[in-house]
Structure 1
Amino acid sequence: MSTLSSNTYGFSKRFAAIAAAAGCAVSTSTALAFPAVTTGGTASAWTRGSADGSHLDSRQQVYGATTKEFGQKARSTTDRERLIASLRGYLTLQENWDGEGAAAPNLNSLRAAMHFACALTDEVLAPAPMLHASGNAGLLWEEDGLYGELEFLHGSRAAYYFECGSNKHKGIVQLPAVEVPAILQQLLPKA
């Protein structure tokens, strides 16, 4: 069964009727919340109602479900989700975002970085997002003597540079659609 959770973004925490209709369990953590799919399934809409269940909108009345009936706890946001959210946040920037003439963020580069982030396993240390003055998205690792950087280029390619002690690795690699290239699997720091 899919689980819907909610986080605080100003919408009512009452959307259980839609989840019930979709066969999903619901969890909420605050009085005002925005529904989010956490393990598959989809939520195409949400409902408004009071947090205590005293007011139900028409969809909740039809399905007879309330948020209280699904007592699951909300899960924490993962490092990967925070990374993707930060990368998506770059989409709001415009040309000269750094005050020094930087190019506007490159949508294709940001997409490639988000796809790459989705392909990372939990065994890999979460990188920090970055945006180059060229507008290209990047990922950065700095941990215990290791420095690593990826820049997502056009044509589904990434430039990489990793340094650990006296060992240095750099190059350009083609990025497959759903996996991390073998060379990068060897270089990425483990969590």
Structure 2
Amino acid sequence: MSELILALDISTTGTGWAVYDGLSLVSSGVLKHKSKSYFERGRYMASQLRLIQSRTIKKHDKAFEAVVVEKNSVMGPNQQSMINIGIVTGMILNRLVADRVYFVNVSTWRKHWKFSYKDRSKKSMKKQSIETVEREFNKSVKDDEADAILIGGFFAAQNQLEQLESHIY
């Protein structure tokens, strides 16, 4: 039996998301809000993701087994930005329903999709995400959505869940 998985690429300005039913990508998108407050943007993204989950549960008549979140250990522009991302991540995870939450390192899912590291710039990584989704899923998307799709695709495809950091509610 296939599992519902919600994959997230969380940031304070926009969160990419992807829903999988087993290995099949069901839906994806990016949530953004125009508020100047990261806290208000976080509240909006959390409520919208909860709504996405509710609609998906109803449509597929089964619960979410996992929420998969990108774990980026690289420091952002400054310490306050990293604190804000942590707060938004907490707000989002607090609203979601799943048996397990998994954290996947950026380098882990990129390795799975065979990213090149000749150019390690942010621009190059974003471009590779978009191109990989176009090639593997025949879907044209922007970078936040592409990352969420690839995080979820990695998680759905791999078999060794115990190797990922997880938290069971």
TM-score band, normalised by shorter chain: under 0.3
Flag the structure with higher helix content: 2
Larger radius of gyration: 1
Q: TM-score, normalised by structure 1?
A: 0.23
Query: Which one scores higher on RCO, CA 8 angstroms, separation ≥ 6?
Result: 2
Q: TM-score, normalised by structure 2?
A: 0.25
